[in-house]
Structure 1
Amino acid sequence: MQKIFIALALALITLSCTSTDKTQVQFILDWKAQMEHAGFFVAKQKGFYEQEGLEIEILEGSGAPTSARVVGNGTYKLGVASGSATVMARVRNIPIVSLAVINQQTPVVVYSLVEKNITTPQDLIGKSIGVNIGGTKHREFQAFLRHQNIPEEDIQLMGMSEASPAPLLAGQVDAMLGYTEDQPVTVELQGHAVNRLALSDYGIDVYSTNIIANESFLKENPDLVKRFLRASLRGWQHAVDHPEDAVAAYMAARPESDEAFNRANFKYLIPLLQSADTQQQGLGAQTEAKWQQTQDILHSLDMIDQKVDLNLLFTTKFMPE
């Protein structure tokens, strides 16, 4: 009898330990950790993943196309990519699926010092623009020019790195391409007023940062994926509602980063997370119409040579109810 009691006690202890175990998952970002990933750090710091029975390790990536590839080949099961990288991956039969779109529109802007008086697309004619020739921003800018009926030869494109606004501040160019929450913020923090022309305001309305999953993993682990997505979007909603927590969570993970920049950065990031679709469906919303528009623009720029079945490209069935 005593042996039976001991056996039952051990079984209960084992069950208790098992019930508190967390499923460990590695989640790869599309680039080095930045404020544009703050919602994931909030979800981790606030215990949202833990409450879903998950232990998430957030790993830095080396570009959205690379993240799409390593999630597609199963090295990682979940990750962050971009709208264009997701479409281009599916065109190449890389098996990834978009679960949610964080950045509802492209963050690409043409930015300039206010004294240049560049406030409309037509003001760019005859101006010098710093651009990484052939890069993604350049391709989106080409679509922007076409949409505005501005011949590219009417713009003086200056090939250079877009990572730093130094050429703009040195007067080498009239304007540069950048991300609204990044390079222009650096200029503003140095005391300069900046004008932005957001490509999304002029017809280049494409999806940007999104959460992706390996297709096989998605089919085999639907409950885990649903819990992961619920916690992630909860983190993003908290970040939007409490920007100070977003900055704190990110800086806890990256204490070497600049707090003033992070605060200003997130102020410009929040509008990118919101759209008419998110007003109806919540953060992370994605629609067939917007994905179709995204791949139509990519196709018009010859970034893809064919279009993909949207049923393979994204799913909304794992979104929180």
Structure 2
Amino acid sequence: MDRRSFLRAGLGAAGVAAVGPLLAACGDDSSSTTSSGLTKISYQFSWIKNFQFGGEYIADSKGYFKAQNLAVDLVAGGPNIAVDPILQSGKALIGQSSPDFTANAVSKGANLKIIGANYQKSPFCIMSRPEKPIRTPADLAGKKIGIQATNEVAWAAFLKLAGVDPSTLTKVPVQFDITPVVSGEVDGFWAYVNDDVIRMKEQGTEPVVMLLADHGYEVMTATYTVRADSLTDKDKRDQIVRFLKGALKGWQDAVADPGLVADLTVNTYGKGNGLELEEQKECAASTNAIMVTDDTKAHGLSTMSDALISGTIKSLAAAGITAKPDLFDTSVLEEVFGGAATVS
């Protein structure tokens, strides 16, 4: 089942944007050892087991985690699971979150650090029909744009960053179903470039895509997040470094082979989630465009350049979210790559 279907089914749209309940069955980051001598840790996903975590599936299935002496519990997320409170509580050693959630958690007293970013660019985009294309912010004028309630803050921030007067367009409340843009009820639709865009193509329409990251909304996401005190604890830091070595080696394979991501997602790790093989392959392949940049080619996947950190802080500020530079810790990735651009 995809993100849109989950939300349409009433499983908690508010949980995607708000801090949801801390679920009891989320694992525990306290170290333990398997019978084969591997150290057990938990990695908390931000969503259900779909293509978004292909690198971790590969690391697990190919033994990359095992080679790091780790047994990693890959814990599924969902619409009502907030990762940052889980990390703060110690229920998982590491998790995938996003800077807006983490910054908000820190402002409320959480002690968390972002140590890497799978998505160098935000997946948010405005997609439109080819007969009425929206390619640049200037094309928004006079258009009806479908925006979900959970994305209104980010939408307002984007308009501010792009220098667009909100009065020049019409905002239309929509849900996560893409039907309004497919049918032409709205001219543009807030979407995920590696998810909704694929589904619009499947319905027979080749959408025009305006990636927000190309027009001022510079928020890294799909971020690896940990408790700050885990980085100062010798054993836990070592486990985090070893986890990232395995995970990023898996992501190197994922970038090279989206078909493998799809196979592991549909037939093994996400089996039973109602996912389709070809769709997951297309989603995984499209994700490469927001994961792989000149910076990652030079410094490795998940890198956080000074410019990316600065752009993220600026974009969050436009949304009324305060994030400080020390929220981001690049030292773990420096240990992982050791000056190289790949994990061998």
TM-score bracket for the superposition, by shorter chain length: 0.7 to 0.9
* Bigger-Rg structure (1/2): 1
- Aligned equivalent of 2:278, options 246, 260, 274: 260
Cα distance, 1:63 vs. partner? 5.5
Q: How does 1:105-116 map to 2 (within 5 A)?
A: 105-116=121-132
Q: How does 1:211-230 map to 2 (within 5 A)?
A: 211-220=224-233, 221-230=236-245
Contact 1:96 1:313 in 2 (8 A): no
Q: Which segments of 5 or more consecutive residues in structure 1 lack a partner in the other structure?
A: 1-16
Answer yes or no: is 1:155 the counterpart of 2:169: yes
**What amino acid sits opposite 2:173 in the alignment?**
G
Contact 1:90 1:313 in 2 (8 A): no
The residue that corresponds to 1:316 in the other structure is: 331
Q: How does 1:3-82 map to 2 (within 5 A)?
A: 20-62=36-78, 66-82=82-98
Contact 1:141 1:199 in 2 (8 A): no
Aligned residue pairs: how many?
299
The residue that corresponds to 2:13 in the other structure is: none
Q: Deviations over 1:70-94 (max 9, x none)?
A: 1022122211101222222223331
Secondary structure, counterpart of 2:241 in structure 1: helix
The residue that corresponds to 2:306 in the other structure is: 288
Answer yes or no: is 1:175 the counterpart of 2:175: no
Q: Provide the TM-score with structure 1 as the length reference.
A: 0.87
The residue that corresponds to 2:155 in the other structure is: 141
**Aligned-partner Cα distance in 2 for 1:213–1:149:** 35
**Aligned-partner Cα distance in 1 for 2:259–2:92:** 31
Contact 2:126 2:134 in 1 (8 A): no
**Aligned-partner Cα distance in 2 for 1:286–1:149:** 26
Cα distance, 1:107 vs. partner? 0.5
**Aligned-partner Cα distance in 2 for 1:42–1:18:** 21
Secondary structure, counterpart of 1:102 in structure 2: strand
Contact 2:143 2:169 in 1 (8 A): yes
**Aligned-partner Cα distance in 1 for 2:125–2:66:** 37
Q: Deviations over 1:142-186 (max 9, x none)?
A: 23322333211111101121x220122232211100100111110
Deviates more, 1:40-49 or 1:254-263: 254-263
The residue that corresponds to 1:10 in the other structure is: none
Secondary structure, counterpart of 2:55 in structure 1: helix
Cα distance, 1:18 vs. partner? 8.3
Answer yes or no: is 1:189 the counterpart of 2:207: no
**Aligned-partner Cα distance in 2 for 1:285–1:235:** 15
Answer yes or no: is 1:243 the counterpart of 2:261: no
Secondary structure, counterpart of 1:126 in structure 2: coil
Contact 2:146 2:173 in 1 (8 A): yes
Q: Which segments of 5 or more consecutive residues in structure 2 lack a partner in the other structure?
A: 1-32, 339-344
**Aligned-partner Cα distance in 1 for 2:222–2:180:** 27
Q: Deviations over 1:274-293 (max 9, x none)?
A: 12321221001013332232
**Aligned-partner Cα distance in 2 for 1:235–1:26:** 17
The residue that corresponds to 2:7 in the other structure is: none
Cα distance, 1:46 vs. partner? 1.1
Secondary structure, counterpart of 1:33 in structure 2: coil
**Aligned-partner Cα distance in 2 for 1:47–1:106:** 30
The residue that corresponds to 1:8 in the other structure is: none
The percent identity for this pair of structures is 22
**What amino acid sits opposite 1:273 in the alignment?**
M
Cα 1:223/1:195, change in 2 over 3 Å = same
Answer yes or no: is 1:166 the counterpart of 2:190: no
Q: Deviations over 1:38-82 (max 9, x none)?
A: 111111111111111111111112469810121022122211101
**What amino acid sits opposite 1:141 in the alignment?**
W
Cα distance, 1:120 vs. partner? 2.4
Contact 2:34 2:40 in 1 (8 A): no
CA root-mean-square deviation = 2.1
Q: Provide the TM-score with structure 2 as the length reference.
A: 0.81
**Aligned-partner Cα distance in 2 for 1:91–1:107:** 25
**Aligned-partner Cα distance in 1 for 2:35–2:82:** 36
Displaced runs of 4 or more, over 4 A: none
Q: Deviations over 1:189-210 (max 9, x none)?
A: 1211110000011111111111
**What amino acid sits opposite 1:320 in the alignment?**
F
Deviates more, 1:254-263 or 1:51-60: 254-263
Cα distance, 1:30 vs. partner? 0.9
Answer yes or no: is 1:86 the counterpart of 2:102: yes
